[in-house]
Structure 1
Amino acid sequence: MPDPNPKNSFAAFSEAIVSMIDSPVTWFREKVVEPNRKQYPWYHQQFRRVPTIDQCYTDDYVCIFEADQQWKRDKMVENEILSIVRARFEDCVLYESPDHMTKCLPFKEAYERAAENWFIKYGDLGATGKARECYMKQKHRLLWERRHGKVGTGMKDSKSAVSTEE
């Protein structure tokens, strides 16, 4: 804010120059930009969905960067979902104990299912995981399940597997 009563002529001159440059910019922002801007609360910011890592070319670094950022946002959302489901289960246990083994069973099953799905997608990637590593993990899991059956059920024996040599 310019000083209304400058101390000397140099201060008055510098205030006039600043005012001459700043006034049109301030007027344009207050009268044109701000009235036409959509107001969103910061906690409801919506990002557009970008192409996933499998839709990016190998030399398109901007697309890869956007896919990584989208993957990180998705991971943060799924972390919060898992945290909420866990909190619901823990609240049920606190509220319903000593009968929590029967009354909280749906919450426990929901939490275990959510934790399993989270681990399938994000587990073993570490803190510096990226979209490409996650994609490769899912691809390797798909190939394993195609060859050996569902993960955790043991490997198929070679006699029951369909032979491709025939």
Structure 2
Amino acid sequence: MKKFEEKTYHTETIYSGKIVELNIDSVTLPDGNTSKRELIKHPGAVAVIALTPDGKLVCVEQYRKPLEKSLVEIPAGKLEEGEAPYTCALRELEEETGYTTKHLQKLTSFYTSPGFADEIVHLYFTDEVTPLEEKVDGDEDEFVELMELTLEEAEQMEKEQRIHDAKTAYALLFLKLQRDK
């Protein structure tokens, strides 16, 4: 038995959409009592820290409906069924930014909200981007604007909360640590 494990004895699916599934799990707690857990199932995602040849961070600005505002973020996207994270990272980089690369280095993976969701983000890095010869179409319902930022510009956007998501904050921390080595 895992430390503090909660045993599921019933799962009710409340909603199943194209991105997430909402389940209510009835669980037995480590002390024998029972409780309910509202859980979001997600296929996982990727994000890419991409630097241009002149050292600028490749970002996109897009509207985020849950927040009712636009954010500036590193390129990212959802894994398709059966898709390898590396393949997804390259696809998202190309679709969202018009850049490609021959080398993506996996940095880490992390859970975004483990209190209620199983979404995991696989984070990659490249400093070898080149423009695509022919633009690749992205998702038909996704509207993004390419931005290339110096680390200082990105840090200022973070202060202004234009950059305000965990994966991009992680990217900035990674780049600051690399700079300070």
Between structure 1 and structure 2, the one with the greater Rg is: 1
Higher helix share: 1
Does TM, normalized by the shorter one, top 0.5?
Answer: no
TM-score band, normalised by shorter chain: under 0.3
TM-score by length of 1: 0.17
